[in-house]
Structure 1
């Protein structure tokens, strides 16, 4: 294919409720959509999941938009016979910026597969038509508010609950949720790097609560502390921010820094690298699950396709649209008996609703070639 036109479109979506983690709080989601149009008139969509500020990850939204505009898009637009499989190699010389790379790769994949009439799920190797999903519960103002929130999500049908934790909001909230909802609740925690090596003895107390996993307690580059914690707890350790490629995953698993991997396509550079990580983990018997980044329906559709691969044996953080947004830019994804349907149309299998897209748009940058 040949890229002739690219739109970099910023959208802003209010959240149903503020979402707080150890790295900050959000009451709305700014997202960057990438729309490509090929010489044959085929349109493909991608989503950049970078946040406004570089707290969760080194990349940030306006920076990724600049990288797309100045380097990534022109590099791919110069190709007369572009294929999605070529994208990682063509962009390899530009260091970092995995979230921008993932967004443009996703748009190219979507256009290519739409032209072929093949779904992203089928292309990646999906084996399921729906996937079980969990819900991520942010840090609350009170314990009562936390119990009410978790109760509401369980009533809605979510099959797994993840609690965000930080120093001062950890043992007591986890103990309360376990005691309130019983031992059968699949419960896990996510620290988003909020702890340090000296907290290992303290974090060992999480073993008391029968958790599915403890996610990313230490800094992304501090694999040593994860190794030491993993050796001293019975609860599996999962890595998120530390895993930026299949090579990172292989290293972390080899040294015993984790036994579960959270795969976020934006963090690792795209869906093709995500599949490599999935294949590595499946070959070694390591469970994986798909993390979420408050995606719009565009990114949510693609994540569902990924989560339908056979190695995704744990419920992900994809969640129904209503968990985050009253009005998205696409048709909503609706929870049914704890599962979300995997889109089966060509490409990502979903398109923005023009009226909703226009209502959410804050800026558009058009590039032509």
Structure 2
């Protein structure tokens, strides 16, 4: 089978959402992502996806399209025998556009794995001894909305077997309190994760957690409580919650290996959220290995990603084997064919034990 890229294409593909995906800093009303397809001369295809979240990263679909179109022209005729080296060569061209880099890396790795006849997870060296981990469950997100909507979401997904709920907070503290308590009431034995998306100050966050404590609704993990550059706030919250049973997790604050080193060196957080759209897959793996070597728990998250990127991230989790929290649920918010991952069931469990070569998801390019 040919190992040379013969053709490359980039396209914006849209899909409707089941409901608007609302967080403290903005919302998605539809999936509108940039996809790349690389094809070898004998027809093998590798796919990648850039999920652009302008309200979080400042990236745009237009700039991502331009970056990927420029890269595809240069990729033609290149071999994918050493996919990581090829990805590293192109990474400097995606400075400030990590979603575009993630898409390119995904497509190169997918094509290489398909040509070799192996699942994508076999391309990543493990970060811990027990890897690969081929079966694991995702949480489900409760987006910002009314308490009744939170209750309905928790009721629906608890009945399907979901055991962890990630509740978006940070817009209205009184409403947030009622929403968290509604989820706790519906699913009293579930794992609670709170994601503030930078919506609090350190003092307000600790006060809010005290209120939850009085209701018996302490979360196991608190994600990005303060603005991304507020390292002092993160550090203070982490120190205050040491030994409490609640981890403080950096998301927006850690988008690179350098950010991760800073967070670890100053004990700013007790967990880190890795997303391919923040750092790409190659650097994301480096962050995971650094965190694992320092005993830092890890979450694997996503932007508004379709089954292509979500399944690639599932392979990433399986191969590295070091993730304590899996937050790969966005396909449950999408309608249509891009919502289906062959390795994810209706209860939120991934199983890659019989994974096909590559990522295992194709994209309907037109």
Q: Which residue of structure 1 aligns with residue 159 of structure 2? A: 155
Which residue of 256, 263, 267 corresponds with 2:278?
267
Alpha-carbon distance between aligned partners in 2 of 1:338 and 1:42, rounded to the nearest angstrom: 30
Q: Cα distance, 1:197 vs. partner?
A: 4.7
Where 1:20 maps in the other structure, the secondary structure is strand
Distance 1:329 1:338 in 2: 16
Structure 1 residues 324, 91: closer, same or farther in 2, change over 3 A? same
User: Residue in 2 aligned with 1:364?
Assistant: none
d(CA) in 1 for partners of 2:247 and 2:40? 45
Change (3 A) 1:13 1:206: farther
Q: Is the 8 A contact 1:75 1:90 kept in 2?
A: no
Task: Tell me the distance in 2 between the aligned counterparts of 1:122 and 1:153.
Answer: 31
Distance 1:78 1:194, change over 3 A: farther
Contact 2:136–2:351, Cα closer than 8 Å, also in 1: yes
In structure 1, the residue matched to 2:294 is: 284
Q: Superposition pairs for residues 246-257 of structure 1, below 5 Å? A: 246-257=257-268
Q: Distance in 1 between matches of 2:340 and 2:206?
A: 47
Q: Match of 2:33, SS?
A: strand
Indicate which of 34, 39, 49 corresponds to 2:51.
49
- Go from structure 1 to structure 2 and tell me whether the alpha carbon gap of 1:197 and 1:337 turns closer, same or farther (over 3 Å shift): closer
Find out whether 1:101 has 2:95 as its counterpart: no
Alpha-carbon deviation of 1:238? Answer: 0.5
Q: Does the aligned pair in 2 maintain the 1:193–1:216 contact within 8 Å?
A: yes
Identify which range, 203-212 or 109-118, moves more after superposition: 203-212
Q: 1:27 aligns with which of 9, 26, 29?
A: 29
Q: Size of the alignment, in residue pairs?
A: 347
C-alpha distance in 2, partners of 1:199/1:245? 28
1:239: Cα distance to partner? 1.0
* Uncovered stretches (5+) of structure 2, i.e. residues with no partner: none
Q: Does residue 219 of the first structure (1) align with residue 230 of the second (2)?
A: no
- C-alpha distance after superposition, 1:310-354 (max 9, x if no partner): 21122x221384x223312374444265512226111112223xx
Q: 1:325 aligns with which of 334, 338, 342?
A: 334
Contact 1:263 1:290 in 2 (8 A): yes
The normalised TM-score by structure 2 is 0.87
1:32 counterpart SS class: strand
- For 1:325 and 1:93, locate their aligned partners in 2 and report how far apart those are by CA, in whole Å: 32
C-alpha separation in 1, matches of 2:235 and 2:211: 16
Contact 2:87 2:108 in 1 (8 A): no
Residue aligning to 2:112: 112
Q: Please report the RMSD computed on the Cα atoms of aligned residues, expressed in angstroms.
A: 2.3
